[in-house]
Structure 1
Amino acid sequence: MQNHMKTERRKEMEVKERIAYDKGLDNTLKLLEEGYLFIKNRMDLYQCNMFETHIMGEKVICISGEEACKIFYDEELFQRKGAMPKRIQKTLFGVNAIQGMDNNAHIQRKLFFMSFMTEAHQKKLAELFEKEMKDSVNKWINKNEIILSHEAKNIICKVACFWTGVPLKESDIESRADDFYSMVDGLGGVGSRYWKGKAARNRTEEWIRGIIEEVRQGKLLVEDDSALNLMAFHTEPDGNQLELQMAAKELINVIRPIVAISTYITFTALAMYEHPECKEELMLGNNNYIEMFVQEVRRYYPFTPFLGARVHKDFSWNQYEFKKGMLVMLDVYGMNHDSQIWNYPDEFRPERFKEQKDRTFSFIPQGGGDPKKGHRCPGEGITIEIMKASLDFLVNKVDFEVPEQDLSYSISRIPTLPKSGFIMKNIRKKF
């Protein structure tokens, strides 16, 4: 018996030697200070792909790498229910919405989302966006300068609402766009940023709830295949109609991520400016190179910092015992800059995407796994198509100057943007 206990104790000590432990009783403040680099800094320091830390008073296991990603998206081992802090649900996703669902309930809701995010829907949305950008140029040429992040946010909000069938007055575009973006900005915010995001969520849910109610009552007629109509009359697997408040949350979960693409549009413009050597190839209108450039923007620049899930059942991986209920965080930003996955990860090289390969678990700027069944963002295709449209527009449809400005962005701020928002002046159209 004693020999058995000694053997088990020795095994435990060996495991501890292989697992890095973050210093400090709680590292919440360090996470807020380091932002996107919180996990990667420690992976680099400890030369590991997994470490244990404490955040908001709870033990958290941080993991990184392609194999870690495969484990993280194994539905038998991990669940999303209970993983997301309420403060994030109250700003970004909505309480108890699709992002916190698991198993068959999640699959059914996800398939419903995917039904109006087909390739045809993606193309239509991108075309609407490009048309609106062209229309906006007529206003821009009469201005001394514009801030792209601001303009893109308003344009894409208008387009997203039109595409989903949500009526939006011209006079309300800016305020609604600000609210959608504030939900995203509240993700890593404390104090005023958080409360602003929470208030924006409450206002938007009330607005969308009223619209859905009007559709259900027949007071507002919309296209049968619009996301608004489909959400208004969606029935759950049990045959009951989706509860009104939840229908509002989920419709917001269609529009809000589209508005958030304005961040990627701004970083696309920054990438163009910082890498003028790519412009000649982009001007040829080569769709393959345009997509390669867009994918490199998604890899190189910060968007999603990390993702969380809870252990669904006890299991062992890398000689570490994962216990049911443990909170685990997957390092998204770190994987996008991991030298084991990418050659020269800190250099902007669109050509790295020339090689067609399976990147399901190695390139995860909007989540990994199967988008139809798992927790990968169902709107990833929409993101790519809109980014391609914005890139082609900025390169081939307009000329502009980039004045001196502060284009730096804080890697400690989640989410982040170039500080100036990317100012463009002396805009001239080429079409």
Structure 2
Amino acid sequence: MTPTAAAAPRPIPRDPQADSSLALLADPYRFISSRCREHGSDVFETRLLLRPTLCLTGPEAARLFYDDERFARAGAAPEALRATLFGEGGVQGLDGERHRHRKALFLRLTAPEAVDALARTVRQAWRQAATRWPAGEPVTLYDAAREVFTRAVCSWAGVPLPEAEVRLRTRQLSLLFDGAGVLGLQHLRARRARRATDGWAQDLITAVRGQAGTAPQATALALIAHHRDADGELLPAAVASVELLNLLRPTVAVAVYAVLAAHALHQHPGQREALLAASPEDAPMALACFVHEVRRYYPFFPAVAARTRRAFRWNGYDFPAGRRVLLDLYGTNHDARAWQTPGAFRPERFRPERRAVERPGSERTGPPEQRPFSFVPQGGGEPARHHRCPGEGLAEQLMKQTLQFLLHELHYSLPPQDLSIDMSRLPALPRDRLVLVPQAAVLR
């Protein structure tokens, strides 16, 4: 009997453009999913910055992407992101045991008790900010949130922040994520901000290490300064400074989510009323589901990068070794194969007591931990094992504190403005950054 021949591989669809960099920049959140729909495939090949790149979308593609035997992160991120967003030598570019060991530091820094302490600091920072806002004068929430989170995370982390430096550090930390994925003058500013913040953070690390004979402090700054890598050696000061910024920068970047959460309150008034009317027993769950849906529904990171470790076949497609691969996060969070009515804002889809309707293609409802490869706003998989962001709990708590402040502690109105989301911007935001007019703060 003749053995059955292996099925021939299918050719990976190719984008017809010679280079798709400008198309990606023009529509960074929808580029991959729209091209995948055109090709009728969860994968296609294109060229980005003249480099062949495979683009993936969907939950099954996400499951593949987080297979550490097939994908690596070292050298995958474009140089423009390493020079601004990530820095050199940080945890994002590590693999295997080196990654797990370094990741353990961030899991410790973002443990629930540490996040609770930061949340208390943020709560107080919002209240203090409100005392500086003249009643009746407009406040741009994006600007306010970035300053609030800068003040709070520096205080919590043990990073000295003189009042005279607050605006400078807020602007510099913001540029690391607000100018990383763009071209032109803003990107040059982001590179300058990276050099300045690297120097600032390295001075902080050196100062902490120079405090010989003093009792060790349990601050985030001290833990990073004294962290020993998998080889038992202290991190080089330059690398430790990158990791300090990898804690400060993403915390300030939660300002994006804070604005988007406020946008959702305004755009979906029924949800606002439901949050205000929730019983004391149900309020925490209602708020958590609202925050999860904001993170699913709105754009944040458009994609993450890796490279193939070796050649392999997936779904009939041959993946070559050493190829850069982008996983579509926004499109996966809106994939109709995993989410019913993905274009609708429905926090109740995250309630654990809901059960999926038993029919093919029905949505599996429940909390995010049950959806590690379909709910991927900050990466997929498990934080302890994969390259999923360990700061998701931190982001959720800061969003909750902001929502509690807006719902219960600040009387405000929204003047006429453009609230449409600018999807060509990285990160995406309402075009007018959400302007509110405080009437009074109810301080407790």
- Quickly name the TM-score band, shorter chain normalised: over 0.9
TM-score when normalising by structure 2: 0.91
**SS of 1:366's equivalent?**
coil
Residues matched between the structures, number? 421
Secondary structure class of the residue paired with 1:424: strand
Cross-structure match for 2:274: 281
Structure-1 separation of matches of 2:76 and 2:36: 22
Contact 1:214–1:220 (Cα < 8 Å) also in 2: no
- Structure-2 residue corresponding to 1:344: 341
Offset from partner CA, 1:381-431 (integer Å, 9 cap, x none): 100111111111111111111000111222122222112111111431234
Select 2:37's aligned residue among 44, 65, 90.
44
SS of residue matched to 1:178? helix
Q: Which residue does 2:394 correspond to in 1?
A: 382
**Alpha-carbon deviations, 1:214-258, whole Å to 9, x = none?**
111118979611111111111122222110111111100011000
Cα separation, 1, equivalents of 2:213 and 2:294? 40
- 1:165–1:223 Cα contact (<8 Å) kept: no
The percentage of aligned residue pairs carrying the same residue is: 36
Detail structure 1 runs of 4+ shifted over 3 Å in the superposition.
219-223
Question: Is 1:421 the equivalent of 2:433?
Answer: yes
Is there any run of 5+ residues in structure 2 with no aligned partner, and where?
353-365
Farther off after superposition, 163-172 or 236-245:
236-245
User: Which residue does 1:401 correspond to in 2?
Assistant: 413
Which of 236, 255, 263 aligns to 1:270? It is 263
Task: Name the SS of the counterpart of 1:35 in structure 2.
Answer: coil
1:72-117: CA deviation from partner (whole Å, max 9, x where unpaired): 0011110001101121111001012110100010010000111121
- The counterpart of 2:373, out of the listed 361, 364, 376, is 361
Q: Structure 1 length as normaliser, TM-score?
A: 0.94
**Retained in 2: the 8 A contact 1:36–1:413?**
no
- Would you tell me which structure has more helix in proportion to its own residues? 1
In the aligned structure 1, how far is the partner of 2:91 from the partner of 2:374?
A: 24
> For 1:242, which of 235, 241, 245 is the aligned residue?
235
**Unaligned 5+ runs, structure 1:** 1-6
Query: Matched residues in 1 for 2:132 and 2:187: separation?
Result: 33
1:162 is matched with which residue?
155
Partner of 2:30: helix, strand, or coil?
helix
**Cα separation, 2, equivalents of 1:222 and 1:423:** 46
Structure 1 residues 311-334: Cα deviation after superposition (integer angstroms, max 9, x where no partner): 012211011111210111111010
Whether contact under 8 Å (1:111, 1:373) holds in the other structure is no
Instruction: Supply the distance in 1 between the matched residues of 2:214 and 2:135 (Cα, whole angstroms).
Output: 37
CA contact (8 A) 2:142 2:434 kept: yes
2:149 matches 1:152: no
The amino acid across from 2:432 in the alignment is S
Deviations 1:284-319 (A, max 9, x none): 361101111111110111101011100012211011
The residue aligned with 1:296 is 293
Query: Of 322, 326, 332, which residue of structure 1 is paired with 2:323?
Result: 326
Quote the RMSD (CA, aligned, Å): 1.8
Q: 1:58 to 1:222 in 2, by over 3 A?
A: farther
User: Is the 1:222–1:229 contact (alpha carbons within 8 Å) kept by the matching residues of 2?
Assistant: no
Aligned partners of 2:135, 2:410: CA distance in 1, in Å? 14
Aligned to 1:316: 313
Q: Distance in 2 between matches of 1:320 and 1:426?
A: 56
Match for 2:206: what amino acid? E
- The yes-or-no answer on 1:430 pairing with 2:423 is no
Give CA deviations for 1:143-162 in whole Å, capped at 9, x if unaligned. Answer: 51211110110010010111
